[in-house]
Amino acid sequence: MMMLLILLFIHVAASIPASKANCNLDKIKISGGSYSLNEDGDVVTYSCPSGMYPHPGPIQECLSYGWTKQNAKFVCKNIRCPSPAMFENGEYDPKKNVYNIGDVLQFECWSGFELKGSVNRTCQVNGKWSGKTAICEDNGGHCPNPGVPIGTTKTGISYGVENKVFYKCRQGFDMFGSSVRECTEDKYWTGTEPSCREWYTFDTPEEVAEMFSATLAANIEAADPDKEGEDISKRKLRVKKGDPMNIFIILDASKSVSIEDFNTAKKSSITFIEKVSSFDIEPRYAIISYASEAIPVVRLTDEESVEADKVIDKLDEFKYGAHGDKKGTNTRSAFRSLYEMLVLQELREKAQFMKTRNVILLMTDGKYNMGGDPKVELEKIKLFLEIGKSREDFLDVYVFGLGDGTENNELNVLASKKPNEQHTFRLKNVDNMKKAFDSMIDETDAMDMCGLNKEIIDNVFNDQNTDEKKKQTLVNEKFPWIAKITITRPDSQETCKGSILTKNFILTAAHCFHFDEETKYINVKVGTESLPVKNLYRHPQFDRNAKKDKNIISTFDYDIALLELGRRIAYSSTARPICIPCTKSSSWALRMKGEHITCKDHNDFLFKEEQIKSLFIAEEEQKLMEQKDVTIKTGNTRLACLRATEQVKEFKDIADIRDMVTDQFLCTGGTDPHVEPPTCKGDSGGPLIIEYKKRYIQVGIISWGSVNHCSGTKRKTTPVPEHSRDFHISIFSMLPWIEKTVTEELTYLPNLTP
């Protein structure tokens, strides 16, 4: 199925200011906070400490009569959460007129009713209640009780087919979601659960990321913790391997948008393009910038529209000043340009067009000052796509309100209203939108794509609200291809790492295991799941004693092993396969398409520099994994590796160091041109990885180091010795054996020797 994804960045021009001479700067001060003026000095933005908001509003504008609120006294006040306006079939406590940050509401139901949702809800720093709407359910209707979200009032108590319920907010609150919901034959309520918000209430990047969680389990939990068996396709845009997709990105370059914000929006767009392009899909892009008029930066019909790199280049080259002095805000022109592209696409791809899934992500403050109402053009798009009850799934409009002073009602009107989904969000700024982009695509059908991960939002580990269990989950999502291996023998225990190669196989180092190791002693942990091992396969030529005649006490040639699991891995956001070279899946990851691609092409592409940026994963504080950046040395820099290794006193009797460091090994470490972290004992068997455009390709297996600069499994804090080097078995050199051992799930390229 083709998909159409439209991403719209919009800000809106304020009223045209008068002469600044009419606006006295002495009248814009705020008690307890600070303010800033825009470049023209005609718009004031107020800021307050965390947990507070500027009253009576976030901005002032200079108009012909002076400041818009020049007689008001601006002051920072404490953020509060809305109080319950009504609660059906139960009680809540405490009952107060005002609920401050940290206050907790407790709910209980009368006899004969079952409590659904959250028993306890806490007032959060962003003015929202934690948890889910508490509902006292008697299961007496065709549809379940839709509940009364905190701050709303509900009219209607009959829940039969076609019965409706009506919601309202108290004066001064804005409604997000549906004011009217109808019970359907399939026992769903139409529309979206409403919420009543103060103007200062924002969604955090973490909340947005959670709502767009990449896993099926988190998806269901985020929408309804008691819901089972719901069709995931009704929740989010789904990414499937090989699915075509059209992505429209629309950027606002009107006067109200600063150059800095415009450039941040461009960077956010680039982040989004890179994220989408990291999947095994080939989207077609179109970029539109607008102010008084729309300017196509990349057209859907342009040759480069299918090449993400070239689209990014053109977007990066586009300048804020391209619109000249035409700096009005004509949002409708952007929708019109989009509509025209859809019309042209329908003419060229008539058979496939109506199979297209359309998703609009609109970033706006909800205002416009010329061109007319954008809703008119959006209705034309809906009509053209034949969006109705039978085709609701073919259009989703997600609206992200950015910054202070948004028109919340306009945001809500534009957004889709669908059961168990939220389509309207409000974020503090463009930067927060960028942080949330990584989790906006449902990867349920993309779990078997190799080398994917989920980025961790900045500073999450410094957040006191993030508990240890959540931190561990986030780390597992960042490094989902890492396997932790524990060998528990009667007289000892050893730990190693490995990587998820397929649902049945873990790739690791042979030296982690004794020659006659029994598989019952081996346990593999991926994410939170512990798995037994059915078979241990070591390379047949691995023999630690094979080179004693060359004064090598212990050789690591062919230091590779595969663990066949006793139970298949269930792929999820915390358990995914790594990419290895010379497979069809890694060709997708490297964006090398076509039947002519060979293993040599992969090798030449990945190893085209003398020093190649790479990484490995180590455990540091609190047993949490973290990335260690190193460089793979090739050519002359690899010769320097050999010379440094010759200095190790344990190797002084080896006539030719190349007998110890054979061509099977990749070299990292050292102090030139910068100090690189060494590997430690617990890192053995883990992957040496090259990252390419947010895909992770394993090129080596951590084998041995020339210097032990560790205390157990931890790196020492003293300076790293200059001759410290680490060596990793090259995946390229081991591919023939891997192909012979792992015969399912992986499709290998011809001629595995590069």
Find the helix or strand (DSSP H, E) in which 565 lies: strand 561-565
Asked if residue 102 lies in contact with residue 81, where contact means CB atoms within 8 angstroms, the answer is no
Q: What is the dihedral of CA 187, 190, 196, 201, to 10 degrees?
A: 100
Residue closest to 451 by CA, chosen among 483, 484, 480: 480
Count the neighbouring beta carbons within 10 Å of the beta carbon of residue 238: 17
Residues in the chain: 754
Q: Which residues contact 520 (CB under 8 A, 6 or more apart)?
A: none
Nearest-angstrom CA–CA distance, 252 and 269: 12
Distance of alpha carbon 304 from the chain centroid: 26
Q: Please tell me what DSSP assigns to residue 734.
A: H
Per-residue DSSP letter, 84? P
DSSP state of 5: E
Give the helix, strand, coil percentages of the chain, each rounded to 5: 25, 30, 45
The secondary structure of 378-432, three-state, reads: HHHHHHHCCCCHHHHHHEEEEEEEECCCCCHHHHHHHCCCCCCCCCEEEECCHHH
Q: Active-site residue among 203, 243, 252, 559? A: 559
- Give CA 4 to chain center in angstroms: 20
E strand or H helix that includes residue 217: helix 216-223
Give the active site residue among 55, 511, 709, 728.
511
Q: CA 514, CA 549: separation in Å to the nearest integer?
A: 22
Q: Is 703 a catalytic site residue?
A: no
Catalytic residue among 256, 277, 684, 724: 684
Smallest Cα–Cα separation from 249: which of 296, 307, 319? 296
Q: Is there a catalytic annotation at residue 559? A: yes
Distances (CA, A) of 514 to 487, 494, 521, 644: 10, 11, 11, 30
Contact 560, 729 (CB under 8 A): yes
Residue 315 CA from chain centroid, whole number: 21
130 is catalytic: no
Tokens 């499937």 locate to 240
Which residues are marked as active site?
511, 559, 684
